């Protein structure tokens, strides 16, 4: 049964406008996103149930995204995830944790945004975690070719890079990329996808409903 799940794609601080690696069961991951300049890139992670033919989300709690953080829009509260005092936010009992949202590159740490994924903390019915990076659509028609030094690195708990991609060079024609998915079964594996697309984040969500 198709369920309509969408998010308000305006952030709180702005006006409206099969490569695989078998890993141990208790493995965790860190997704690191960096770029230079005043573009606004975002990491998004979904907690899906894969039934063998399709992967679906069932509630807003399955969406780790800055668009799903609680904020007031037009006098009403939108978003379902509460932001911590340090700007980080999390869902599903800490299985998915996001850094504070960066609205431009060049942070001192080198990572402008990051997401930590701990599959062991996920509900039993969540067995696929798609990882997506997109350009926030405050600048229409902008693609990764116009973002300087945009890069995504996905690391396992030992700090080994299971994926290291230059978005500016390898996905320059697009404003979004599904980097890959973490697949959870008797073991855990990261499956690289690397599919570029153009659209907004609600168009991505629609594929998982």
CATH number of 67's domain: 2.60.60.30
Is there a domain that residue 104 lies in?
yes
Is there a domain that residue 15 lies in?
no
Is there a domain that residue 121 lies in?
yes
Is there a domain that residue 2 lies in?
no
The label of the residue with tokens 């991505």 reads: 204
Determine the pLDDT at residue 172: 96
Number of structural domains in the chain: 1
Is there a domain that residue 128 lies in?
yes
Determine the pLDDT at residue 108: 59
Determine the pLDDT at residue 132: 98
Upper half-sphere CA count for residue 95 (Cβ side, 13 Å): 22
Determine the pLDDT at residue 178: 95
Between 27 and 85, the higher pLDDT residue: 85
Q: How far apart are CA 104 and CA 102, in angstroms?
A: 6
> What pTM was estimated for this model as a whole?
0.88
Q: What are the phi and psi torsion angles at 21 (to 5°)?
A: -135, 115
Is there a domain that residue 135 lies in?
yes
Is there a domain that residue 3 lies in?
no
Determine the pLDDT at residue 23: 47
Domain extent at residue 187: 22-206
First vs last C-alpha separation in the chain: 9
Is there a domain that residue 10 lies in?
no
Determine the pLDDT at residue 137: 84
| DSSP per residue, 107-159 | -TTS-SEEEEE-GGGS-TT--EEEEEEEE-TTSTT--GGGSEEEEEEEEETTS
CA–CA–CA angle 45, 192, 182 (5° rounding): 45
Per-residue pLDDT tens digits for 50-101:
999 999 999 999 999 999 999 998 899 999 999 999 999 999 999 999 999 9
Determine the pLDDT at residue 150: 95
Per-residue pLDDT tens digits for 131-176:
999 999 877 789 999 999 999 999 999 899 999 999 999 999 999 9
Determine the pLDDT at residue 20: 47
Cα 41 to Cα 1, 101, 104, 189: the distances in Å are: 32, 9, 7, 26
Mean pLDDT of the chain: 88
Lowest model confidence (mean pLDDT) among 17-21, 24-28, 117-121, 184-188: 17-21
Determine the pLDDT at residue 5: 74
The label of the residue with tokens 């700007």 reads: 87
Determine the pLDDT at residue 134: 97
Determine the pLDDT at residue 27: 87
């Amino acid at each position: 049964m198709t369920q309509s799940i969408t998010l308000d794609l305006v952030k709180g601080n702005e006006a409206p406008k099969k490569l695989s690696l078998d890993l141990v069961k208790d493995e965790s991951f860190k997704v690191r996103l960096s770029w230079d300049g005043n573009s606004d890139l975002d990491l998004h992670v979904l907690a899906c149930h894969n039934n063998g033919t399709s992967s679906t989300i069932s509630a807003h709690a399955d969406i780790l995204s800055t668009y799903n953080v609680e904020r007031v829009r037009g006098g009403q509260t939108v978003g379902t995830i509460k932001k911590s005092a340090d700007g980080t936010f999390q869902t599903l009992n800490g299985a998915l944790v996001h850094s504070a949202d960066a609205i431009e590159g060049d942070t001192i740490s080198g990572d402008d945004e990051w997401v930590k994924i701990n599959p062991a903390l996920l509900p039993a019915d969540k067995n696929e975690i798609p990882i997506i990076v997109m350009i926030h659509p405050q600048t229409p028609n902008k693609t990764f070719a116009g973002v300087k030094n945009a890069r995504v690195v996905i690391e396992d708990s030992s700090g080994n890079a299971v994926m290291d991609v230059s978005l500016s060079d390898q996905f320059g024609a697009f404003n979004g990329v599904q980097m890959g998915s973490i697949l959870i079964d008797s073991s855990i594996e990261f499956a690289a996808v690397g599919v570029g697309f153009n659209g907004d984040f609600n168009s991505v969500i629609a594929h998982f409903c």
